[in-house]
Structure 1
Amino acid sequence: MNVGIIGANGYSGVELIRLLQQHPYAQLNYLASHSSSGKLISEQYPHLQGVVEDRIEELDINEAASKIELMFFATPSGISKDLIPAFLDKGITCIDLSGDFRLKDGALYEKWYKHTQASNENLQKAAYGLPEIFRDEIVGSTLIANPGCYPTATLLGLAPALENGWISPENIVVDGKSGVSGAGRKASLGTHFGEINENMKAYKLGSHQHIPEIEQSISALSGTLHPITFSTHLVPMTRGIMCTMYADLEVKTTTEKLLKQYEEYYQNNFFVRIRPLDTWPATKEVLGSNYCDIGIKVEERTKKLIIVSVIDNVVKGAAGQAVQNLNVLNGWPEETGLTVTPVYP
């Protein structure tokens, strides 16, 4: 399959390039970026010298549609919603890594993202691309809304417990921590070395744009809609997300029993690894990979379930999950092109 990337000069775009280079069934045939058009991708990223020497183009929809069958949109939010309809009209399948099509309620998108919404027709058409939970909706779709990085880690951790009624959907607390790459490549005061080195800080408390996305999926899993408490923190590392979730137990159970049930829930999902009793995942242990590692603890004293979920935010939280969705759409094994051993240390 011939594929292309719009927004190829960003972190998610260049990670897509890395992963697609080793994909046996996908041929990268088009790179576009408004801010970097005319340059070789290896000029933007010298580590690609001798590996990928393609020139980044100014987007021409007709030219792009003549070269590819599927387009990845690794663009900031607010851009893909205006571009994707033209590609859909030309029969091009679209996988959007931004937040433009994740929320079914366009008014919520405008409130949280501060952009005008996409058409309601396309919002309802878009499949939410979290394969481990919504695989059946992805199959046969022509528009995939790739999940956000925080929602991916959070929802994979919560899904078995919510779907089976082991926890209450009310009063869920999510404590999220992310590496600096989640902010993108563009320089900013809050993410340069002097601000983040040897430092940790909270940001967007109660106002992060991923909150309604998480609540939407929690509602789909539990059948009820409740607000969550979601706090985010920037930590001095390049890649990685750790989400620690706290929820009230609805059943009397043990850590050992729930661990077995989590293992059964994810037994046919290559990229979710459940940690053994009393061991907890770390971000370094999924670095550069598409894995999500999960550890759980039944806190009998407080009658709460504690869930720790880690991912690489640029892979499973963005580009890797997009390639996983490519595989689902084509009926290829989901791990195709993604069997990368995590980089350690």
Structure 2
Amino acid sequence: MPVALDAHPYDALLLLSFGGPEGPDDVVPFLENVTRGRGIPKERLKEVGQHYFLFGGVSPINDQNRALLEALRKDFAEHGLDLPVYWGNRNWAPYLTDTLREMAADGRRRVLVLATSAYASYSGCRQYRENLAESLATLQAEGLELPRVDKLRHYFNHPGFLQPMIDGVLKSLADLPEDVRAGAYLAFTTHSIPNASADTSGPVEEHGDGGAYVKQHLDTARLIADAVREETGTDHPWQLVYQSRSGAPHIPWLEPDICDHLEALHGAGVPAVVMAPLGFVSDHMEVMYDLDTEAKAKAEELGLPVRRSATVGADPRFAAAIRELVVERAATESGRDVRLCALGDLGPSHDVCPVGCCPARAPKPAAAGADSPYA
């Protein structure tokens, strides 16, 4: 029998994700949830939904989360961590509010939250915290006893997040034709966000050119590229590039776009490219459409050999990393000494988001941070 690991004072883990449609009839209602308050006409949402309709109206993210839930529960059981795992989404069933209501009914009083976003940004961290605060406010209005909710720290530089991506890049390189393999470039991709959001990402002291969002991605890319060089003996040039822009044309967003980058590399005589989506936890719609569909079509048009490496998904090493982060946070909360695991130059991220971290244009209450209205 495994030695029991101590999760005290926590009595549950909540997997908190974005959500996605599970059939054609879900697509427009899902997009209405995502864009609520922006006044976007339904006809425009139908146009946006074409990405989903290409895949039968089903986003892969929900099945990816089910696989991650199974991996977490299996890992916890094998390592003696007695901690139930729940799942709630921001924009589709199972909805976050319903899951928190279920957790309250089950008597859960100290909840750790795992968000399916590894980096600091408004959309990748604080917006999840705002959703938590909204859901807790709903439960409070219903007269329910609220659990205390804490969020696991950013895990972009944890070995269990990095190693599956390193292996994915190595596999993609090996899959390229031998005559272009040594000259292949690595294009590390992540979600583009407005420059203003990037510049104010992370704690106030990290605000500036690209903020914590860009710094964290660059550190992750460097760690992967260094590991690939050590394994192959080849120093592959690399760059951080962006995808999935969705904002108004007049608002500056992070660049270059992956398709523009492929054109530039081809024009410079680069023989092949590996696209590595290090900004995404799983192969959800933005990976499947923007990389596997759109970017690969651009590469084919250019005659440029490309491969797309895997995200971490439900890799057992990622599940193990989450277990380690849970035990680490539990020890910290209990006042026990613990070594925080992180690679690279930036070190372990903060446990509690400070005031001013990843601010929104219109401030809203956010749970699981120093400014949380729910202690």
TM range (shorter): 0.3 to 0.5
Higher relative CO (CA 8 A, sep ≥ 6), structure 1 or 2? 2
TM-score w.r.t. the length of structure 2 is: 0.31
Q: Which has the higher strand share?
A: 1
Q: Which has the higher helix share?
A: 2
- Which has the larger Rg? 2
TM-score w.r.t. the length of structure 1 is: 0.33
